Copies of this chain bind each other. A is one copy, B any other.
């Protein structure tokens, strides 16, 4: 039978209210009494009952804002599923989400939406922040006002955040390089197809990829990097041009635009000859894996990212539990034809 505040109250000869004040460092209590109560609690190995705490708290309604630049981006489907799962789990605890989705990466739009959500007075905000000084400043203002911020999937410099939940992009790039290295033996030329040079994560993937090539696979040479803005049309045209003019032996797609790029590959007649490594496992990528057009893809546990971003904030807001680290990194999972779900 677990120890309760009632037993502590009896042992200390005080009321349950006083025990509550002592244990939760509330104000309006004689410091000596508080100390004694805490000692007794420790002796009895008191562990607060999270369920009871939750029920008592359920009067106080907690709101968490969730703002993602996810509209029209199939990668985010799974992230949103993780968020929905978290919402279901925390509903009973009196926590609700103020959720909103944006298309693309327009800083003005994100600023406006941040303000709209902030007006509803959430106690925390999960966001895929755009790397723009105005956005960062605005978020830091919120943080200063006590609204805790969790960066989801992408991080930006100088953000005052509770934590970042996303993948280890450097490791993602390293893993892609190792895959390519292990899948080939001879000299090789590879091109990278990236999303944007303004995206920290994309750049880190390139950096990790490059590092491992230099260290472990000097026979593989990085010959060019294409920037697509995650746009399939742009990827189609640029990859097509590359393959017509100076085709490499391998491609590393470290961001979106895979469907467009692969269309160009198919039309080039090089399908099956090029080694291709991608990221994530959107439906497009899965199909290309099945058709043996993509050799492997490095995924980042998107469901977990959505789930954990909300839950980290929830745990902090309702149980004052700080995340173990400022970086809550998900695993980089390699998927091949036979282990995609």
Q: Which residues of A contact B (CB under 8 A)?
A: 2, 47, 49-52, 54-55, 58, 91-93, 171-172, 174-175, 177-179, 182-183, 185, 212, 295-296, 298, 331-339, 341
Contacts and interface: CB of A to CB of B under 8 A. Distances in A.
B336 A178 contact: yes
A341 B177 CA distance: 17
A58 B49 contact: yes
Given A171-B338, A175-B336, A49 B92 contact: yes
Which of A92, A172, A185, A298 has the most C-beta atoms of chain B within 10 angstroms of its own C-beta? A92
Contacts of A177: 338
Which of A52, A175, A334, A337 has the most C-beta atoms of chain B within 10 angstroms of its own C-beta? A334
Contact of A334 (B55, B171, B335): B335
Given A51-B51, A55-B52, A333 B333 contact: yes
Contacts of A172: 339
Contact of A174 (B91, B334, B338): B338
Would you list the 7 A-B pairs with minimal beta carbon distance, nearest first? A334-B334, A174-B338, A51-B92, A175-B339, A50-B92, A332-B339, A51-B54
B336 A179 contact: yes
A272 B49 CA distance: 54
